[in-house]
């Protein structure tokens, strides 16, 4: 304001200078409005921006912003102290700048350590100095009148370079929010104080821009950045105002930064969290204050401020952008819990989010990328830590919102077999066997398929004497075991759902489930049966018939308890020319081969020797149609199907097409002949191996 605003006017003229002020304040105002809205919807607690982001986007997102934000706040104190020292030395040239900085650092530390209330009481005195300095400036002026020029300016720098110089002047919008834990009524104080601050600074900046343009030429404004001191009526008051402004910012950051560290400590985001979360009897975070003071001291002594100045601005801008984004997300996903008493249009938070991102790259592309990379890296590290502390956030709501939107869009489009992927519905009979075959189900479904396990509990609804408590306990036990299955699957990043239903019999319950899930957003397309547990041939026939009627493909699996899945490398895919079940069989074989990183061979049985050549030609043609490597082996066996089963080359699993009517005796015969786990598959109308 004191030393750069005149330079801005001199560079681009009054008109463009005011446009820079307006654009900058639009972003600041959007952030202030978003922050005001969200703090009236949550109990903000300690930590200011960190608390806001955490309660909207989760601890990981809050920590990813909070850690660099804390460091930026701490290092910023050194910037302000350095600015104070430079102004002091301009008056008292004989003083040592390092000594002045150290004395200022020590005084701010003592004030902050004693009490935050004392620190902010001093702000009233400093504010009085700033107001008197402004009074001195507006009463002063040049010896000659310079007409205000809207389009003047030397234009030695382009518009965006000048904008980048000015923009840090409006990045103090979170100063009050950083004290959220100290406020009696933050829901009232933060919106009121922040919006008044934004409004007043806009008026002051605009008035000063006009004053500069009327009291000095463009040449003078560009060449003499301290011209405001010379033009002020009482130069001493202007110097005191500059010192007061830098000292005020230093105190605000020195008090706010430890509060951010306290909040990070309470959520175990940083090392030694218990120490940093601790406060004394007066409520002062002494350990956090001492660490902050040490960081400030090191920064002052290292003297590398200019090298990281742009990076710090990027961190503040990312923070402001995330606050706007948090509000935009909560406004957009339509959750009932978002009902702030301070409401803003959605366009405001959207402009704030995009504006912050644009400004970052306009100011400095390199530091923008560095800051974003730092935040993303911290976020990934915190995700890997799997923080267990519960924190209300809207990330799941956002993902559900997007899923619903895309599902509605997809529902309007026609289905094509080209988009088929395995989404299996698995009836559960024997829980112990299920745990054994989970790896194979994963092999069929991974990486992008889905699984829905369901369990039918038979119950006589007409029996008034039945023990309902026993049924309830049994259901709870089943759900608990199914949740164990879900946990295993989720570790592999698979989409898993479960259902438990009571029905008069297994068939009725299974049909109910199939009909219920048919119209879900993500319906299953294939029934996966564990034939080892389905010894009732009538039930197996009925459930497969029902699955076909509901448009589901069928995979019937017989698990070889001794051989199991072998080494998980080779698949025999049995092909019958003209079979209606080739598509699903090929797709499943390809899924298994891909996840096993193994190989499969195409096997065909013919009854006569003269059919062998034609069979090999058919298999070679099929390989081209289904787009598998030509090195995939083919094998033609001569003889009746039942007789050649024992001649099949060794494999870890054999895949067959399914007869129209399930024949358990044939399944048993095939199973014993090949001595591997086997799959029997039946197509629906929704698969295509050549699409």
| pLDDT tens digits, 173-209 | 777 766 666 677 777 888 888 889 899 999 999 999 9
Q: Is residue 528 within 8 Å of 557, Cβ to Cβ?
A: yes
- Which whole number is the average pLDDT over 355-376? 88
Q: What confidence category does residue 144 fall into, taking pLDDT thresholds of 50, 70 and 90?
A: low
The residues, ordered by sequence, that sit 6+ positions from 23 with a Cβ below 8 Å of its Cβ are 163
**Tell me: the pLDDT tens digits for 491-528?**
888 889 998 888 888 888 999 999 988 878 788 999 99
DSSP state of 216: S
Q: What confidence category does residue 577 fall into, taking pLDDT thresholds of 50, 70 and 90?
A: confident
Q: How far apart are CA 571 and CA 592, in angstroms?
A: 8
Q: What confidence category does residue 161 fall into, taking pLDDT thresholds of 50, 70 and 90?
A: confident
pLDDT at 678: 93
- Which whole number is the average pLDDT over 278-297? 87
- pTM (predicted TM-score): 0.70
Cβ neighbours around 624 below 10 Å, total: 10
pLDDT at 306: 60
Per-residue burial over 497-509, b = 16 or more CB atoms within 10 Å of its CB, e = otherwise? bbbbbebeebbeb
pLDDT at 528: 94
Q: Is residue 45 within 8 Å of 265, Cβ to Cβ?
A: no
**Tell me: the pLDDT tens digits for 315-352?**
888 988 988 988 898 888 777 777 888 888 999 999 99
Domains defined along the chain, listed by start = 5-385 (1.20.1740.10), 414-556 (3.40.50.620), 560-691 (3.40.50.620)
pLDDT at 263: 86
Write down the residue that tokens 């989760």 correspond to: 58
3-state secondary structure of 570: strand
Residue 21 corresponds to which tokens in the numbers above? 């002020």
Across-strand partners of 497? 452
Residue 369 corresponds to which tokens in the numbers above? 């990328």
Kindly tell me if the per-residue pLDDT of 615 is higher than 90. yes
Q: Would you give the distance in Å from CA 87 to the centre of its chain?
A: 44
- Please report, for residues 409, 465, 476, the alpha-carbon distance to residue 470 in angstroms, rounded to integers and kept in the order given: 45, 12, 10
């Amino acid at each position: 304001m004191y030393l750069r605003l005149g330079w801005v006017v001199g560079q681009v003229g009054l008109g463009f200078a005011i446009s820079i002020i307006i654009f900058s304040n639009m972003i600041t105002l959007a952030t202030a409005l978003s922050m005001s809205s969200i703090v009236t919807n949550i109990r903000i607690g300690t930590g200011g921006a960190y608390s806001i982001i955490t309660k909207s986007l989760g601890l990981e997102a809050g920590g990813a912003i909070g850690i660099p934000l804390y460091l930026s706040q701490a290092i910023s104190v050194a910037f302000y102290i350095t600015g104070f020292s430079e102004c002091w030395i301009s008056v008292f040239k004989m003083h040592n700048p390092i000594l002045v900085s150290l004395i200022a650092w020590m005084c701010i530390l003592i004030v902050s350590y004693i009490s935050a209330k004392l620190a902010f009481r001093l702000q009233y005195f400093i504010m009085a100095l700033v107001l008197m300095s402004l009074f001195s400036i507006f009463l002063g002026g040049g010896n000659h009148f310079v007409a205000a020029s809207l389009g003047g300016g030397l234009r030695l720098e382009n518009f965006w370079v000048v904008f980048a110089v000015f923009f840090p002047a409006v990045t103090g919008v979170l100063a009050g929010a950083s004290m959220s834990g100290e406020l009696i009524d933050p829901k009232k104080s933060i919106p009121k104080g922040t919006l008044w601050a934004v409004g007043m600074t806009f008026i002051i900046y605009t008035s000063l821009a006009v004053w500069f343009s009327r009291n000095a030429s463009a040449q003078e404004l560009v060449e003499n950045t301290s011209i405001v001191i010379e033009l002020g009526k009482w130069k001493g008051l202007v110097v005191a105002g500059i010192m007061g402004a830098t000292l005020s910012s230093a105190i605000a950051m020195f008090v706010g930064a430890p509060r951010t560290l306290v909040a990070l400590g309470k959520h175990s985001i940083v090392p030694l969290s218990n120490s940093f979360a601790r406060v004394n009897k007066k409520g002062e975070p002494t350990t956090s204050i001492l660490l902050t003071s040490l960081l400030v001291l090191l920064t002052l002594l290292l003297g590398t401020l200019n090298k990281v100045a742009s990076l710090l601005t990027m961190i503040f801008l990312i923070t402001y952008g995330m606050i706007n984004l948090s509000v935009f997300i909560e406004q957009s996903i339509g959750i009932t819990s978002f009902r702030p008493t301070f409401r803003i249009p959605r366009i405001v938070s959207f402009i704030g989010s995009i504006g912050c991102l644009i400004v970052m790259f306009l100011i400095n592309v390199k530091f923008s990328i560095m800051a974003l990379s730092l935040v993303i890296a911290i976020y990934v590290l915190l995700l890997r830590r799997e923080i267990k502390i519960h924190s209300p956030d809207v990330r799941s709501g956002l993902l559900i919102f997007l899923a619903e939107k895309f599902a509605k869009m997809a529902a309007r489009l026609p289905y094509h077999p080209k988009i088929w992927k395995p989404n299996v519905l698995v009836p559960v009979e024997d829980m112990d066997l299920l745990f054994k075959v989970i790896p194979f189900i994963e092999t069929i479904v991974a990486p992008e398929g889905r699984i829905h396990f369901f369990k039918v509990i038979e119950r006589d609804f007409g029996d008034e004497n039945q023990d309902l408590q026993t049924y309830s306990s049994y259901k709870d036990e089943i759900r608990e075991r199914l949740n164990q299955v879900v946990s295993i699957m989720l570790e592999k990043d698979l989409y898993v759902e479960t259902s438990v239903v009571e029905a008069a019999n297994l068939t009725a319950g299974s049909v109910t489930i199939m009909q219920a899930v048919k119209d879900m957003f993500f319906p299953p397309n294939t029934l996966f049966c564990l034939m080892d547990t389905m010894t009732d041939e009538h039930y197996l026939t009925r459930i497969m018939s029902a699955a076909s009627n509901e448009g589901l493909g069928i995979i019937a699996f017989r698990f070889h308890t001794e051989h199991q899945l072998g080494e998980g490398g080779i698949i025999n895919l049995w092909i019958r020319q003209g079979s209606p079940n080739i598509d699903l069989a090929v797709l499943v074989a390809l899924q298994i081969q891909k996840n096993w990183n193994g190989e499969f061979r195409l096997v065909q049985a013919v009854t006569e020797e003269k059919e062998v050549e034609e069979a090999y030609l058919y298999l070679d043609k099929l390989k081209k149609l289904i787009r598998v490597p030509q090195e995939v082996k083919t094998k033609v066996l001569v003889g009746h199907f039942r007789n050649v089963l024992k001649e099949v080359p060794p494999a870890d699993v054999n895949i067959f097409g399914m007869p129209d009517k399930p024949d358990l005796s044939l399944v048993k015969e095939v199973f014993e002949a090949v001595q591997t786990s086997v799959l029997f598959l039946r197509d629906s109308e929704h698969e295509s191996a050549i699409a």
